[in-house]
């Protein structure tokens, strides 16, 4: 006998001897219930514009959006998160709060076409500002600054307008201090006391948002987002961000990006076990897998399922991913 464990011998491989046994003891299960599909909606008609750096993802006009949400709903997908590409942008992102704006219009259409889909509305200014920053700009003779407090009022207005149109959840993503509290107050004053806030509480200043900025046409025209998004080197700071947002009234938290921040996901879940936690598997994480798969260097399905399962294993309750439709189909084939 060569095995030198204690008697009775622990042999971990006993539980790996066949697929049924493996199914029985598996700890983490990825399911259709866990996935949220992001959608990019542009003004106009009859357009389904491919996003070059995100194969299989499109900017949709509202007519194509209707087909898309019907398909998602038929697949059993629970939720979508919306990003708008408005025709006109200005310094304060005012088109984000119009009842006739692109997202409010899209929300009403989705509610008609696929009433069972949960609609999460991303609340931020960068899609609507001509300068592409997530807040309004205060100019100084020595440069510029993002005016945190002036941005809060606009975020609250945007949230109210999207919820009035029918959004089920609002998800502020701009990393402004006090954004959750401002939005909670705005929603409550407008009578929307039951609408939950999913805060992008822990959003890193990541190099993995590049393809998204092409998709949403929301790249900053100058500077970067380092004065408001988190430094990728900081992990403990994530706990402060989470705590503050919970104190301000966040109902759910999110970590973004996902697969290279599993330590952060794990810590947040450990510290706040009762708080639903989302993770955003972002555009760059999607693009890397797609590029490798298109070259035949990685198996797209296996890699994707492994990574998304790992995000859940780390502690995420749900995942926003551009792979949603693919994953649902893959799971159905299994
Ligand atoms: C904007 C926003 C970004 C993403 C979601 N909301 C990009 C950014 O901060 O520049 C990124 C999503 C992705 O990369 O898939 N507030
Ligand atoms: Zn933004």
Q: Is the pLDDT of residue 1 over 60?
A: no
Ligand 1 mean position, distance from CA 263 (Å): 21
The percent of residues above 70 in pLDDT, for the chain, comes to: 98
d(CA 221, CA 139): 15
Contacts of 228 (CB under 8 A, 6+ apart): 134, 135, 146, 174, 175, 176
pLDDT over 80 (residue 19): yes
Half-sphere exposure of 160 (CA within 13 A, CB side): 16
Give me the residues near ligand 2 (ion), CB cutoff below 5 Å. 124, 126, 134, 174
To the query of whether residue 256 is one of the catalytic residues in this protein, the response is yes
Checking DSSP bridges between strand 318-321 and strand 277-281, what pairing results, if any? Answer: parallel
Atom of ligand 1 nearest to the CA of 229: 9
State phi, psi for 310 to the nearest 5 degrees.
-65, -35
Q: In the predicted model, what is the mean pLDDT of residues 43-68?
A: 95
Query: Quick check: CB of 212 below 6 Å from ligand 1?
Result: yes
Domain spanning 28-333, CATH class = alpha beta
**How far is residue 169's CA from residue 274's CA, in Å, rounded to a whole number?**
18
pLDDT in tens, 113-153: 999 999 999 999 999 999 999 999 988 777 888 899 999 99
Handedness of CA 149, 219, 259, 302 (dihedral sign): positive
**DSSP letters of 281-302?**
E-HHHHHHHHHHHHTTSS-HHH
Ligand 1 close to Cβ of residue 205 (< 6 A): no
Q: Are 271 and 244 contacting, i.e. CB atoms less than 8 angstroms apart? A: no
Active-site annotation holder among 20, 45, 109, 203: 203
Phi, psi of 288 (to 5 degrees): -65, -45
């Amino acid at each position: 006998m060569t095995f030198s464990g204690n008697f009775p011998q622990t042999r971990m491989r006993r539980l790996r001897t066949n697929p049924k046994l493996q199914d029985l003891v598996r700890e983490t299960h990825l399911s259709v219930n866990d996935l949220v599909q992001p959608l990019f909606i542009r003004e106009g008609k009859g357009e389904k514009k491919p996003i070059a750096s995100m194969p299989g993802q499109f900017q949709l006009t509202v007519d194509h959006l209707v087909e898309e949400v019907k398909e998602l709903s038929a697949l059993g997908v629970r939720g979508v998160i919306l990003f708008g590409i408005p025709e006109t942008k200005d310094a304060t992102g005012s088109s984000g709060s119009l009842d006739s704006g692109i997202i409010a219009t899209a929300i009403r259409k989705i509610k008609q076409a696929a009433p069972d889909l949960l609609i999460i509305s991303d609340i931020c200014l960068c899609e609507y500002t001509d300068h592409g920053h997530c807040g309004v700009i205060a100019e100084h003779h020595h440069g510029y600054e993002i005016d945190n407090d002036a941005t809060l009022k606009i975020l609250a207005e945007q949230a109210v307008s999207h919820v009035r149109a029918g959004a089920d959840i609002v998800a502020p993503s701009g990393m402004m201090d006090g954004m959750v509290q401002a939005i909670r107050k705005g929603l409550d004053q407008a009578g929307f006391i039951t609408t939950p806030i999913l805060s992008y509480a822990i959003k890193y200043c990541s190099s993995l948002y590049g393809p998204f900025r092409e998709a949403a046409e929301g790249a900053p025209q100058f500077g970067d987002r380092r004065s408001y998004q988190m430094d990728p080197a900081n992990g403990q700071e994530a706990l402060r961000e989470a705590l503050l947002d919970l104190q301000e009234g966040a109902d759910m938290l999110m970590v973004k990006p996902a697969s290279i921040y599993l330590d952060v996901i794990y810590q947040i879940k450990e510290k706040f076990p009762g708080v639903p936690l989302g993770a955003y598997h972002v555009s760059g994480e999607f693009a890397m897998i797609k590029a490798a798969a298109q070259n035949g260097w990685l198996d797209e399905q296996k890699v994707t399922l492994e990574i998304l399962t790992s995000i859940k294993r780390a502690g995420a309750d749900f995942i926003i991913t551009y792979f949603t439709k693919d994953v649902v189909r893959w799971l159905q084939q299994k």
